[in-house]
Amino acid sequence: MKSYILAAPGEVECAEMPSPAPGPGEMLVDIRAALTCGTDLKTYRRGHPKIPLPSPFGHEFSGTVAAIGEGVDDFAVGDAVMAVHTAPCGECFYCAAGQENLCESIMETKVLGAFSEQILLPSHIVERNVFAKPDGLSFEEAAFLEPLACVVYGDRVQKIRPGETVVIVGAGPIGLLFLLLVKARGARGIVLGKRESRLQLARELGAELVVDVEQEVPIPLIRKLTEGRGADQVIECTGRPAVWESTLQMVRKGGRILLYGGCPGGTEVRFDTGRLHYDEIRLDGVFHFTPAAVAEARELLVSGTVDVAPLISGRYPLDELEVALERLLKGDGLKYALVPEV
Ligand SMILES: [Zn+2]
Ligand SMILES: [Zn+2]
């Protein structure tokens, strides 16, 4: 099978390797669609502290079962499946505390290599985070399971409530997935972002107000739309310290701020303590997702409650992975699907 390896930042190599044979509890999947993600792009551009190179990469995928190991009873060869690339251990302190997203081994035991013809899923993932893919959902849509699980986990920590006004800062794939969920929950979405193509997509997806932060000052516009109060909830999806700080000016008294975008390691932010205290602002950081969030994300996809199809900017054969990554580097497109030749 063919697998694309990131040898060094900006250097992708195609490796030909034998198909792995699944051991007990494992599953080999023929990948039918993989999606590019911000993490892949960041790693491609400048490497990643948690991904030593060379490494296979790509982590959003769906496919069909190519082979199963001993003891896998719920799936058979040929089944269409959707999955995520991590699962908690179920045994550590955090798993026992119900905070499985913080599991001590969840990141070390993740599986990369969705930009390949096949991927081998270990038993802990097969047990908890692999699901049947119904025919009505395309492989490309099913590959959204992972990023949507991240967004759904955010919503489990800090509920998006019907009728409320939610500011989403950042019009990338995650910001727009949040917008889809905001709409699905019956709330109003205000999107702050930069590139016109992304802002246009936010309008098409039903944002009540879209602000190009390079052209307009967002805070007066947010106040105007909320009778001067500020938004009920702000969801930060850029991972920039200055933007984290600015969210406090966007939120109303008694409002909530969800800090989704991870900032560079070692950075610090300042918040007005008076506002946090007397105005009772709630701040929540969120990381990754739990199996319950994955299951809920799958439901949202399968039921069509969240329609992710408009977020796919285009598709390429797997061999043109670099073309897709280079387009994203130039700011062209949101998310591309890579499709191995069958
Ligand atoms: Zn991702
Ligand atoms: Zn654990």
Q: What is the pLDDT of residues 119-134, one digit of tens each?
A: 999 999 999 999 999 9
Rounded Cα–Cα distance for residues 238 and 71 (Å): 43
67: in domain: yes
My answer on whether 61 and 169 are in the same domain is no
For residue 193, the CA-to-ligand 2 centroid distance in Å is 36
Structure-token pair, residue 267: 């950075």
Instruction: Give the model's confidence band at 288: pLDDT under 50 very low, under 70 low, under 90 confident, else very high.
Output: very high
Position 165 pLDDT exceeds 80: yes
- In angstroms, what CA-CA distances link 229 with 217, 219, 240? 16, 11, 24
pLDDT on residue 109 = 95
Task: Indicate the residue type of 48.
Answer: H
pLDDT on residue 74 = 96
For residue 128, the CA-to-ligand 1 centroid distance in Å is 18
For residue 295, the CA-to-ligand 1 centroid distance in Å is 16
Nearest ligand to the CA atom of 93: 2
For residue 198, the CA-to-ligand 2 centroid distance in Å is 37
Q: Are strands 314-317 and 165-169 parallel, antiparallel or unpaired?
A: unpaired
Q: Which own/partner pairs from 47-52 qualify as long-range (CB within 8 Å, at least 24 positions apart)?
A: 47/8, 47/9, 49/265, 50/107, 51/6, 51/112
Nearest ligand to the CA atom of 58: 1
Q: What is the mean pLDDT of residues 46-74?
A: 94
My answer on whether 262 and 295 are in the same domain is no
DSSP 101: G
Rounded Cα–Cα distance for residues 243 and 265 (Å): 16
For residue 279, the CA-to-ligand 1 centroid distance in Å is 35
Position 341 pLDDT exceeds 90: no
pLDDT on residue 51 = 86
The domain boundary residue, chosen from 246, 269, 285: 285
Q: What is the mean pLDDT of residues 71-89?
A: 98
For residue 149, the CA-to-ligand 1 centroid distance in Å is 10
307: in domain: yes
Question: Percent of the chain at pLDDT above 70?
Answer: 100
For residue 253, the CA-to-ligand 1 centroid distance in Å is 33
Position 41 pLDDT exceeds 80: yes
Instruction: Give the model's confidence band at 156: pLDDT under 50 very low, under 70 low, under 90 confident, else very high.
Output: very high
The domain boundary residue, chosen from 244, 259, 285: 285
Ion ligand 1: protein residues whose beta carbon lies under 5 Å = 37, 147
My answer on whether 186 and 250 are in the same domain is yes
86: in domain: yes
For residue 128, the CA-to-ligand 2 centroid distance in Å is 13
pLDDT on residue 327 = 95
Q: What is the mean pLDDT of residues 207-232?
A: 97
Kindly report the CATH number assigned to the domain that includes residue 191.
Answer: 3.40.50.720
Nearest ligand to the CA atom of 124: 2
Cβ within 8 Å of residue 339, ≥6 positions away: 32, 33, 34, 139, 140, 315, 316, 317, 318
- In angstroms, what CA-CA distances link 189 with 8, 134, 305? 39, 30, 16
Position 342 pLDDT exceeds 80: no
For residue 335, the CA-to-ligand 2 centroid distance in Å is 31
154: in domain: no
Q: What is the mean pLDDT of residues 87-99?
A: 97
Nearest in space to 213 (alpha carbons), one of 229, 225, 195: 195
pLDDT digits (tens, 9 = 90+) for 191-215: 999 999 999 999 999 999 999 999 9
Query: Count of CB atoms within 10 A of residue 278's CB?
Result: 10
**Total domains, the chain:** 2
pLDDT on residue 50 = 80
Question: Percent of the chain at pLDDT above 90?
Answer: 96
Kindly report the CATH number assigned to the domain that includes residue 51.
Answer: 3.90.180.10
For residue 247, the CA-to-ligand 2 centroid distance in Å is 32
